Amino acid sequence: MPTETAPQAPPPRPVGEGRPALTLLVVLLGMFTLPMAMSGTTVALPRIGSDLDASGAALQWVVVGYFLAASSFMLVAGSLGDIFGRRRVLTAGAALYSAGTLASAAAHHILLLDAARLLSGVGAAGVMASGGSLLAATFTGPARTRVFAALGTTAGVGLAIGPTFSGWLVDGLGWRTTFLAFAAAGALILTGTRFLTESRADAPPRVDKAGAATFIGGLSLTLFAITQGSKSGWTAGSTLLPLAVGLALLTAFVRVEKRLAATGGQPILDLSLARHPAFLGWSLGSFGLGAGTTGILVFLPTYLQGTSGTSAREAGLVLLLMTVPVLALPPAGARLVNRGVPARHLLVLSLLLIAAGNAWLTTLHPGISTAALAGPLLTVGVGQGLSLGIIDAQALGMVEPAKVGMASGFLNTVRGGTGAVMLTLFGALLLALVESRVGSAELAGRVTAGTGGHADRFTEAWRITLWAVAGFTTGLAVLVHRLLRPRTRRRTPVPEATHTVPGATTSAEAVTARSR
């Protein structure tokens, strides 16, 4: 008689496969909603301050705290996804985000609201970092480029329409309704994660606790010091002390990661990525896209309302000139790359267009028309839209599958950190320039808030700030061009070239070519 054999278990499903369309839908919802919560809350601050009897730093932390928490936890969240599962981290992040946003809607004291926003920021870090790594593990080749183009479009649109959407809700139903709407979206994301396929590293490493602690502490304290500098002064003890401690912790983080890598461990950040010119070039390019646009997006509505009598809704509509290209162009940029246009050329062109748009915007003046703003805002928007959807696909294509969560977390840390830093520095430079012209810090604060008059001096400060941003972005374009220029394999070996993503060419030359 023939011997019966035990039924064999089906082969394990490849990582990331199973429900790619649903994975994309859930991640896109997160990337749409969370940036809206970043930018949209700014328009609610006056009403929040009035209802909770809050002002100054405590009120600003409703926005700044969310940015800082999201930025500080992004890298750690990405690495934890590699270890424990990206879907699991996405689920935990959505739960924390929903709980924090719901608590924000119910808060009746400004300190409770600040704490709730910090919790929301931690959750947002988990959603954004694990979402990008899930897509990188699910899609390959041209499909990955198209997916990340959609991701860039969605995030850009969410960030752009956040102020308009929140403004409508605040005017019609109150600021608490805004948080309730975002909490509902978070609950929908949380529900969707239950149906996704898990994805993690094949051989998950141990948690790098020392690296996580020093990175979170160092980055959060450093960013906190930057926000304090614009309010208390750059030589004040409340600025210098957290800055010194933060920089010391970041230095310790680098040492911890080097020592762990040297002993065969798995650091929370593979420092060889930051040292690799091409990966660094794409990361700096991502920083440049945010650095050249954040100031305009956040502060231009205040200028228009303060100097031209524009309503809040009208100012939001003006910003559509900059944000419509962000909606339309990321898929076009992805198609150009898939058809052979060097991706690095698009990124450098984007940075130069953003620099040109900032320079062109220096023609602004009290009473400026929408038609006069169209040229510079469209130029900035085109620059951002062309490359917004290709950066993640290009950068993550250089990383082995087991570490895409870490790399995605690093990229999102750069983005979140850019928002927090530029939100502070742009406003601080405006305030300092206005104060030097009106001679009073209190009056300068009212002027930059759009309620203190002195439109001509406010305009002068805006022009100088815009020239500074234009020059900085131009310098970044030159640096990115040098970092992404073609190199021979002998001069610049690609780290982990033999561990490319499934379906990708495995030669070092092919991996490097994707950044060209």
Provide mean pLDDT across the span 205-230: 74
Write the secondary structure of 82-128 as one string of H (helix), E (strand) and C (coil). HHHCHHHHHHHHHHHHHHHHHHHHHCCCHHHHHHHHHHHHHHHHHHH
Q: Which residue has the higher pLDDT, 336 or 305?
A: 336
Residues 97 and 179 in one domain: yes
Contact status, residue 225 vs residue 239, Cβ threshold 8 Å = yes
pLDDT at 510 over 60: no
Residues 396 and 349 in one domain: yes
Tell me, what DSSP letter sits at residue 208? -
15 in a structural domain: no
7 in a structural domain: no
Residues 250 and 274 in one domain: no
Give the per-residue pLDDT at 200: 62
Find where tokens 């934890």 sit. 80
Query: Going by C-beta distance under 8 Å and a sequence separation of 6 or more, which residues neighbour residue 516?
Result: 342, 343, 344, 484, 486
Provide mean pLDDT across the span 211-239: 75
Q: What is the DSSP string of 306-372?
A: HHH---HHHHHHHTHHHHHHHHHHHHHHHHHHHTT--HHHHHHHHHHHHHHHHHHGGG--TT--HHH
Residues 347 and 476 in one domain: yes
- We report the CATH number of the domain holding residue 503 as 1.20.1250.20
Residues 271 and 394 in one domain: yes
Residues 216 and 147 in one domain: no
In tens, the pLDDT along 19-48 reads 777 778 888 888 788 777 776 676 677 677
Residues 223 and 176 in one domain: no
Give the per-residue pLDDT at 262: 74
Distance CA 138, CA 122 (A): 24
Binned at pLDDT 50, 70 and 90, residue 55 comes out as: low
11 in a structural domain: no
Residues 358 and 487 in one domain: yes
In tens, the pLDDT along 265-277 reads 667 676 777 677 8
Give the per-residue pLDDT at 504: 37
Residue span of the structural domain in which 279 resides: 20-208+266-513
In tens, the pLDDT along 81-98 reads 777 778 888 889 889 999
Residues 140 and 253 in one domain: no
Average pLDDT, the chain: 76
Provide mean pLDDT across the span 318-341: 81
91 in a structural domain: yes
Domain boundary among 265, 295, 330: 265
Tell me, what DSSP letter sits at residue 400? -
401 in a structural domain: yes
Give the per-residue pLDDT at 225: 79
Residues 215 and 200 in one domain: no
Provide mean pLDDT across the span 484-511: 45
Distance CA 28, CA 20 (A): 12
Domain boundary among 198, 231, 265: 265
Distance CA 468, CA 366 (A): 21
380 in a structural domain: yes
Distance CA 363, CA 375 (A): 11
Q: What share of the chain is helix, strand, coil (3-state, %, to 5)?
A: 80, 0, 20
Give the per-residue pLDDT at 98: 92
- Please state the domain count of the chain: 2
Query: Going by C-beta distance under 8 Å and a sequence separation of 6 or more, which residues neighbour residue 241?
Result: none
Would you state the structure tokens that stand for residue 136, as one six-digit string? Answer: 């990188």
The pLDDT > 90 percentage for the chain reads 14
Domain boundary among 198, 232, 265: 265
255 in a structural domain: yes
Distance CA 431, CA 56 (A): 14
Give the per-residue pLDDT at 134: 77
Give the per-residue pLDDT at 152: 66
Residues 24 and 53 in one domain: yes
Residues 427 and 447 in one domain: yes
351 in a structural domain: yes
